């Protein structure tokens, strides 16, 4: 995607208050899948008051109309003090990013891992609870189950990156490799993850039926639970 028009709109909205715009996550890592991935953007302003956020209303209205989420907003100063509170997010930003405008405000950022294990377990358990809840309506159709598994695996992959960090392993860049290495290191069954990546990447080896889709979901959830047990014991 070309960001020129979006960046021009941001510059017009925020003027000199706009310090940086950084693309991070799958699009920056070369792991972007059209119609499946989102564009993760960090917008750094020098100051953020309600009026500053209102300035971006028209820009974000158009951005969300295109189907993308509203970017994350931080002040430049906040970035220096928030890294210890959100270690997972900042590790993800740091490892795969492209500066689209302004300074690289993430360069040299000191990320404390003091709360990394706690945040990772909390996020994993929270996502598992949401996954179980979402399964109830999704189980009405094969398509619903496929979409749920494909979308949720992307979120879990970001947390698996944190699991590898806790084990002292430098994570790969792409989600596919992160999940595969996590399965290997934790001695999990990686086959459910591989099947879901094939669904996500529309690389179907075989068409799922109602029975096989539900079986795959059960296997997938079992492996997620095994990751949480491993994190709990680290």
Q: What is the pLDDT of residue 2?
A: 73
The pTM is what? 0.69
111 pLDDT exceeds 80?
A: no
Q: What is the pLDDT of residue 114?
A: 76
More confident residue, 94 or 46: 46
The predicted model gives 13-34 an average pLDDT of 83
The predicted model gives 7-12 an average pLDDT of 95
Mean pLDDT of the chain: 89
Alpha-carbon span 112 to 215, nearest angstrom = 40
Sequence-separated (6 or more) residues with CB below 8 Å from residue 11: 18, 101
Confidence of residue 32 (pLDDT cuts 50, 70, 90): low
Alpha-carbon span 216 to 231, nearest angstrom = 23
The predicted model gives 79-101 an average pLDDT of 83
Domains identified in the chain and CATH numbers: 4-102 (3.30.460.10), 116-233 (1.20.120.330)
């Amino acid at each position: 995607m070309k960001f020129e028009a979006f960046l021009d709109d941001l510059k017009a909205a925020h003027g000199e208050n706009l310090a940086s715009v950084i693309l991070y996550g799958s699009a920056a890592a070369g792991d972007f899948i059209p119609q499946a991935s989102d564009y993760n953007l960090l917008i750094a302003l020098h100051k953020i008051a309600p009026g500053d956020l209102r300035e971006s209303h028209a820009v974000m209205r158009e951005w969300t109309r295109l189907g993308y989420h509203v970017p994350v907003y931080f002040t430049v100063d906040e970035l220096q003090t928030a890294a210890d509170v959100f270690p997972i997010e900042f590790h993800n930003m740091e490892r795969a990013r492209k500066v689209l405008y302004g300074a690289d405000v993430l360069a040299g950022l000191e990320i404390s891992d003091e709360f990394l294990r706690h945040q990772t377990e909390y996020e994993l358990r929270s996502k598992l609870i949401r996954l179980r809840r979402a399964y109830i309506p999704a189980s009405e159709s094969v398509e619903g189950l496929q979409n749920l598994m494909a979308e949720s695996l992307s979120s879990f992959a970001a947390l698996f990156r944190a699991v590898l960090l806790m084990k002292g392993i430098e994570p790969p860049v792409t989600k596919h490799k992160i999940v595969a290495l996590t399965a290997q290191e934790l001695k999990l069954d990686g086959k459910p993850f591989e099947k879901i990546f094939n669904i996500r990447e529309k690389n179907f080896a075989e068409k799922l039926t109602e029975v096989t889709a539900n079986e795959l979901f059960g296997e997938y959830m079992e492996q997620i639970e095994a990751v949480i047990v491993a994190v709990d014991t680290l």
